[in-house]
Amino acid sequence: MRSRPSSGLRPGLLWAAAGLAASWLFVQARTRQVEREHPPEGKFVTVDGVRLHYLERGEGPALVLLHGNGVYSKDFELSGLLDMASSHYRVIAFDRPGFGYSERPRTTVWTPDKQARLLHRALQEIGVDSAIVLGHSWGTMVALAMGLQVPDFVRGLVLMSGYYYPSVRLDAPLSSPPAVPVIGDLMRYTVSPLVSRMIWRPVIKRAFSPMPVSERFSGMPVWMALRPGQLRAAAAESAMMIPAAMSLSGRYGELKVPATILAGTQDKVASSGHNAERLHEGLHNSQLELEPGTGHMFHYAHPEKVMAAIDGIAAQVGEPVVLRSPRAEALARASESGV
């Protein structure tokens, strides 16, 4: 008797199911482990039913830091920027929704405008009545959205390595599948974290290129970025990147607050010519600082120039700028030397 054609598929399906089950167990174990080893270091605030985690350091005029896609607030701590700025600012670095230890309810499409509105309410909740806002990479769109929504609250913007205008990007569709309902859920609890771990080094190398990956970044817990929840947030933002830039770019001319735009001329993630230079031309009150030989991770390469941009905005809007402490100056010198 002939065997049924489908009978030969059964062993393969069983092996596939076993592989997915093993992957699920491994991902769950690594997620629990990394959260035990790296518990929340900051504070929590709940706004509109969403629990947000943030780091807060220092005293003085408020400075808000908004990280890019794929990382969380610790990125600013590792770069040295958080400690440098805290010498004379009240620095608040949020985990944006879905990253780090902040929630990202699936009932909301977390556009830059939605995130800006939520974070503004969170800042009001913790007693901030005005702030300079700095965004890196995807975070620049949230910073711009906040500047457009509440110009009386945002004193000024520092926009670093941002993506401001839509362009053809192959990385967006390739990074988006974990955000797809059902299939994406299966992927991000099984194969997506494993694949992402395999490509982590080349992705990070590209972000820092043409400079080497900073030794400071080695402190970033890789598996914090590969947890299923954070992968969903990162995938959703990859899928949203082009439409978000398309939506925002038509409103840049309405921006009333001063902005300093920082970019590396060899940024392989967000071209400085297509983004930073074009944004500078489209804003009424902006300064553009291009750094030759620098890639996407500007704050690791030149934290002292980021601080100069922050201080410049503060002076422009009438905030007092005081001398940095010896500790902050030592951190700046160490960052410049790559230590």
Residue with tokens 């945002």: 154
Q: What is the pLDDT of residues 226-252, one digit of tens each?
A: 999 999 999 999 999 999 999 999 999
Q: What is the pLDDT of residues 47-71, one digit of tens each?
A: 999 999 999 999 999 999 999 999 9
Percentage above 70 pLDDT, the chain: 87
Structure tokens at 299: 């704050």
pLDDT at 174: 61
pLDDT at 175: 65
pLDDT at 321: 52
**Band of pLDDT at residue 10, cut at 50, 70 and 90:** confident
Q: What is the pLDDT of residues 112-146, one digit of tens each?
A: 999 999 999 999 999 999 999 999 999 999 999 99
pLDDT at residue 171 greater than cutoff 80:
no
Residue with tokens 């993630």: 269
Q: Is 62 strand, coil or helix?
A: strand
Sign of CA pseudo-dihedral 162, 31, 109, 48: negative
DSSP secondary structure string for all residues of 243-312: HHHHHHHTTGGG--S-EEEEEETT-SSS-TIIIIIHHHHH-SSEEEEEETT--S-HHHH-HHHHHHHHHH
Percentage above 90 pLDDT, the chain: 78
Q: What is the pLDDT of residues 21-34, one digit of tens each?
A: 788 888 899 999 99
pLDDT at residue 338 greater than cutoff 90:
no
Share the mean pLDDT of the chain: 90
- Residue 191: what residue type? V
pLDDT at 182: 73
**Band of pLDDT at residue 187, cut at 50, 70 and 90:** confident
pLDDT at 67: 98
pLDDT at 107: 92
Lowest mean pLDDT, pick from 3-7, 95-99, 202-206, 248-252: 3-7
Q: What is the pLDDT of residues 98-111, one digit of tens each?
A: 999 999 999 999 99
CB distance 134 to 157 below 8 Å? yes
pLDDT at 185: 80
CB distance 299 to 293 below 8 Å? no
**pTM of the predicted model over 0.75:** yes
Look at strands 259-264 and 286-291 and give their pairing. parallel
Q: What is the pLDDT of residues 266-319, one digit of tens each?
A: 999 999 999 999 999 999 999 999 999 999 999 999 999 999 999 999 999 986
